[in-house]
Amino acid sequence: MSTLEITVSVNGNSYTETVEPRVTLVDFLRDKLALTGTHIGCEHGVCGACSVLLDGVPIRSCLMLAVQADGREVTTVEGLTQEDGTPGILQDAFRDAHAMQCGYCIPGMLIASEALLRDNPDPTLDDIREAIGGNICRCTGYVQIIEAIQLAAERLREANR
Amino acid sequence: MKPAPFEYARPTTIDEAVALLDDDSVVIAGGQTLVPMLAMRMARPDRVVDINNIPELAGIADKGTEIVIGAATRQVDVLNSALVAEKLPLLRKAISFVGHTQTRNRGTVGGSLAHADPAAEIPLASLAMDAEVTLRGSGGERRISVDEFLVGPMMTAREPDELIVSLHYALAPAGGRVGTGFHEVSERHGDFAMVAAAARIELDSGGTCRTVALALAGVDARAMRIPALEAMLAGQKVDAALLSRAVAEIPGAIDPGDDQHATAAYRRRVAVALSERALADALRNAEGGAA
């Protein structure tokens, strides 16, 4: 069984690990690095729960091999907290707006929202819907998730004023 | 649901990649289709050849008479390209219907073409635009039309030892006015199309149709043009009445299937309606209106 040594930067920390080529990025993050915040939903690129940022842009980590992340920078939901480990503005907004019920989809929703708000501090409703269009939530009907993103956008604009 | 073991290769040139391709190899670019197939073990290759580290496969270049898009160019880069927005608006419109932010950030134009899903937008728009594909294999390079390339559902003219190198989109000669239209019905935005229609019309200075292209996806084994309709419109000054007569050619020219999403009869009706809208948009667009 062939293996490869890869070095991946995850949330600012560099990890060098030996992996089989068949290991997907999400399994690498969860099983090798014990970063279990990134969830596996459908495992074939439909639900968006496993979304992470790759070199700053959102991708589905179940649709990428870990070996393809060699030399790249990954941000997972754990990387969205503040430096002391407490929730960031976006995460707080999700809590305050009651954006989650079971919470399974939320890591992916947070990653998609983070990418949106970084590029677009004042998104329209359509911008928000488009940004989370690849993320499925089976509990909420999305209304409070959208409200949470609007709340986060407002708070981020305040904070950056 | 984990992939079976395979050997992994990461070539840095096209020739190195081609040397690794055979019956038991698959190419990975964006992986948006291949990785699920690996995970579900619908694909069990001996070797996966990763073409993401071949710089000459990515990029969009204006060659004067044509725009050349590298096979491994990400869909997001095509969608955000000012050159594509200006010179290949139909391709841009089509890609706005492809997947979601997360998948467009990885998915490539060559990958979509290579997969040849009969309901996919990139092969559809490329067919409507008379695009061509360059393939390189152990025996050398060849360039064929997208029409020759698309064979059937998930079947193409690519040989096992060939790699798609680039897609070529010819630019219209000066003097004409070109308009495009794209319409789609799908269950959710970003899904594969139930039916999609791509239209491109070139008018001469007098308002007569110089060329007309109409292609449909989701209605047959592969994306297809409707030559009978195109022949009725070419050389004519097209009005609403002529357009209605021309789209009546469509139901007899396509062979859609029944599935859990829609019946064949429904797909025929949708194909007619979307084609009429796409052609009307293209006409209006060519006459100087908004697309």
- B-interface mutation test, from A1, A27, A65, A117, most B Cβ less than 10 A away: A65
Closest-CA residue to B198 (of B177, B175, B223, B221): B223
Furthest-apart CA atoms within chain A: distance in Å: 55
Mean pLDDT of chain B: 96
Pinpoint the residues of chain B covered by CATH 3.30.465.10. Answer: 57-170
Question: Which fold does the domain B57-170 belong to in CATH?
Answer: 3.30.465
What is chain A's alpha carbon radius of gyration, rounded to the nearest angstrom? 16
- Per CATH, is A89-159 categorized as 3.40.50.10490? no
- Cβ contacts (< 8 Å) between A64 and chain B: which residues? 31, 35, 106
Distance CA A75, CA B6 (A): 27
What confidence tens digit (pLDDT) does each residue in A41-89 have? 999 999 999 999 999 999 999 999 999 999 999 999 999 999 898 999 9
Which of B2, B31, B188 is opposite residue A22, by nearest beta carbon? B2
Architecture of domain B7-50: 2-Layer Sandwich (3.30)
Can you give the pLDDT at residue B173? 77
**CATH class assigned to B177-286:** alpha beta
Domain A4-78 CATH superfamily: Beta-grasp domain (3.10.20.30)
Nearest to A1 among B5, B28, B102 (CB): B5
| pLDDT tens column, B55-102 | 999 999 999 999 999 999 999 999 999 999 999 999 999 999 999 999
pLDDT value at B13 more than 90: yes
pLDDT, one tens digit per residue, over A112-143 is 999 999 999 999 999 999 999 999 999 988 99
Q: What is the average per-residue pLDDT within B173-188?
A: 89
pLDDT above 70 covers what percent of chain B?
A: 99
With 0-12 / 13-18 / 19 or more C-beta atoms within 10 angstroms meaning exposed / middle / buried, residue B239 is exposed
A141 and B CB contact within 8 Å: no
A1 pLDDT band (50/70/90 cuts)? low
Question: Residue A161: what pLDDT?
Answer: 83
* pLDDT for the residue A78: 96
Q: Quick check: ipTM above 0.85?
A: yes
Domain ranges of chain A: 4-78, 89-159
- Mind listing the pLDDT tens digit for each residue in B124-135? 999 999 999 999
pLDDT at B172 over 90: no
Backbone φ, ψ for residue B122 (5° rounding): -70, -45
> Please, is B271 exposed, middle or buried when counting C-beta atoms within 10 Å of its C-beta (0-12, 13-18, 19+)?
buried
Domain(s) of CATH 3.30.43.10: residues in chain B: 7-50
At residue A159, the pLDDT reads 92
State the pLDDT at residue B189.
83
pLDDT in tens, B35-44: 999 999 999 9
pLDDT level of residue B290 (50, 70, 90 thresholds): low
What is the mean predicted confidence (pLDDT) over B193-221?
Answer: 95
Question: Is the pLDDT confidence value at B192 over 90?
Answer: no
